[in-house]
Amino acid sequence: MQNAALRRVVVTGLGMVSPIGNTVDESWAALLAGRAGAGPITQFDATGYGTRFAGEAKGFDVGDYVDRKAARRMDRCTHLALAAARQAERDSGLDVRAIAERAGAAIATAIGGVKSFEETVIQIGERGPGRVSPFSIVQTLPNLAAGWVSIELGTRGPLVSECTACAASNMALGDGLDAIRLGRADVMFCGGTEAPVTPVAVAGFGAMRALSVRNDDPAQASRPFDRDRDGFVIAEGAAVLVLEELEHAVARGARIYAELAGYGISSDANHVSDPDPSGHNPARALRMAFSDAGIEPEDVGYVNAHGTSTPAGDRGETRVLKLALGEEKAARTPVSSTKGATGHTLGAAGAVEAVFTILALRDGVLPPTINLEHPDPACDLDYIPNVPRELQVEVGVSNSFGFGGHNTAVVFRRWPVSALS
């Protein structure tokens, strides 16, 4: 059961940059319209690559959020993080500098400033080590997106950066939840960012045979739970949520989106990239999140699945949901993977999908799994194929799993909360 002594945490601001929109509203509208963000790579010449498409943030201009001189000292993943954080700050209506010591940030990433690192290596080869930029290290370090968010917003409370592959931004949400519950902060800017559309990242994931090679039709390439899926679509993006202690939010008259009610975490101890074949360890993370939120599996109304569009991953997650919810409950619980539209934003994925889960609770509309045309018989749950579903639910769950065996789940409750409180 939920511990009544812990401070309650609500969401009061949202920000996002994604392959389907440069704001939360744009991304949500595109998702419900069934638009995919994948297209031919424009950030480098992908001729000769096995995969020549990705999900890029189209039309994104960092100058809308950051001084251009300062932006030259940052990697693109930091640009995306700052945009999402600024959007979330404005959306929340907070005067962050007035509460600086009680406000913190937890911004996650899987691979950090990989674009800057690659460019530095090329520069050494072409021009020698003496021509390397003095900003090359701070552009590359994975924690600097979080650092820049703190610097630009003026937070002086807890500052952390998870680097746990594709589970990272769900863990950042957990960090923020814990910081507020334990009284270390009243407000936390939590989320993730990724800018992996680079030669090494695309070639490396391609060498693992993790990426789709549907080069003739990128928009159809990410097809979670579909029989014909052949890998994920690598994508860039960022999302940031403002988490706030409930009484603090109410006292200032904040608009509340949802309650972040529970968090669960476990590990597989199985393989560096393959999921736990039994499904028991990821299922433990979900059950831990249910317990933390004080709910039962029967209370879950919607699951935003990790659903990357890889053959093994989607089958495995189907098994995980059956273990966590029970076979009968899993069969009648709506589930979708929004990666069909966004592609896989790696360390940002959990935060992106948390935003979508919250909006589903707010609007009473469950987002679809697009490109689900031929369901895989091994993926036999209700995956909301292709069109959104109008259904008001009270509790939404979002899963994220990462290389190395990282398993996470977060539970959101619709605001105002139902009789489950």
Catalytic residue among 79, 248, 306, 406: 306
Q: What is the pLDDT of residue 420?
A: 40
Domain extent at residue 205: 9-421
Question: Considering the domain boundaries, does residue 4 fall inside one?
Answer: no
HEC string of the chain equals CCCCCCCCEEEEEEEEEECCECCHHHHHHHHHCCCCCEEECCCCCCCCCCCCEEECCCCCCHHHCCCHHHHCCCCHHHHHHHHHHHHHHHHHCCCHHHHHHHEEEEEECCCCCHHHHHHHHHHHHHHCHHHCCCCHHHHHCCCHHHHHHHHHHCCCCCEECCCCHHHHHHHHHHHHHHHHHCCCCCEEEEEEEECCCCHHHHHHHHHCCCECCCCCCHHHCCCCCECCCCCECEECEEEEEEEEEHHHHHHCCCCCCEEEEEEEEEECCCCCCCCCCCCHHHHHHHHHHHHHHCCCHHHCCEEECCCCCCHHHHHHHHHHHHHHHCHHHHHCCCEECCHHHHCECHHHHHHHHHHHHHHHHHHCEECCECCCCCECCCCCCCCCECCCEECCCCEEEEEEEECCCEEEEEEEEECCCCCCC
306 given a catalytic annotation: yes
Q: What is the pLDDT of residue 417?
A: 66
Interval 173-200: pLDDT, tens = 999 999 999 999 999 999 999 999 999 9
Question: Considering the domain boundaries, does residue 1 fall inside one?
Answer: no
Mean pLDDT of the chain: 95
Quick one: pLDDT band at residue 421, thresholds 50, 70, 90? Answer: very low
Average pLDDT rounded to a whole number, residues 303-315: 96
Interval 253-273: pLDDT, tens = 999 999 999 999 999 888 886
Quick one: pLDDT band at residue 4, thresholds 50, 70, 90? Answer: low
Quick one: pLDDT band at residue 418, thresholds 50, 70, 90? Answer: low
Quick one: pLDDT band at residue 3, thresholds 50, 70, 90? Answer: low
Interval 201-246: pLDDT, tens = 999 999 999 999 999 999 999 999 999 999 999 999 999 999 999 9
Question: Considering the domain boundaries, does residue 93 fall inside one?
Answer: yes
406 given a catalytic annotation: no
Catalytic residue among 79, 190, 248, 344: 344
Quick one: pLDDT band at residue 2, thresholds 50, 70, 90? Answer: low
Question: Considering the domain boundaries, does residue 416 fall inside one?
Answer: yes
Interval 20-30: pLDDT, tens = 999 999 999 99
Interval 351-385: pLDDT, tens = 999 999 999 999 999 999 999 999 999 999 999 99
Q: What is the pLDDT of residue 1?
A: 45
Q: What is the pLDDT of residue 404?
A: 85
pLDDT greater than 90 at residue 5: no
Question: Considering the domain boundaries, does residue 146 fall inside one?
Answer: yes
Average pLDDT rounded to a whole number, residues 405-420: 84
Interval 321-330: pLDDT, tens = 999 999 999 9
Q: What is the pLDDT of residue 277?
A: 82
Q: What is the pLDDT of residue 163?
A: 95
Strand order in the sheet with 237-245: 159-160, 103-108, 187-194, 237-245, 9-17, 258-267, 406-414, 395-402, 302-304, 335-336
Q: What is the pLDDT of residue 274?
A: 76
Total tally of structural domains belonging to the chain: 1
Average pLDDT rounded to a whole number, residues 32-41: 98
344 given a catalytic annotation: yes
Interval 112-145: pLDDT, tens = 999 999 999 999 999 999 989 989 999 999 999 9
Catalytic residue among 166, 248, 379, 406: 166
Percent of the chain with pLDDT over 90: 91
| Distance from C-alpha of 398 to C-alpha of 401, rounded to nearest angstrom | 10
CATH number of the domain that residue 209 is part of: 3.40.47.10
Q: What is the pLDDT of residue 419?
A: 41
Tokens of 96: 């962050």
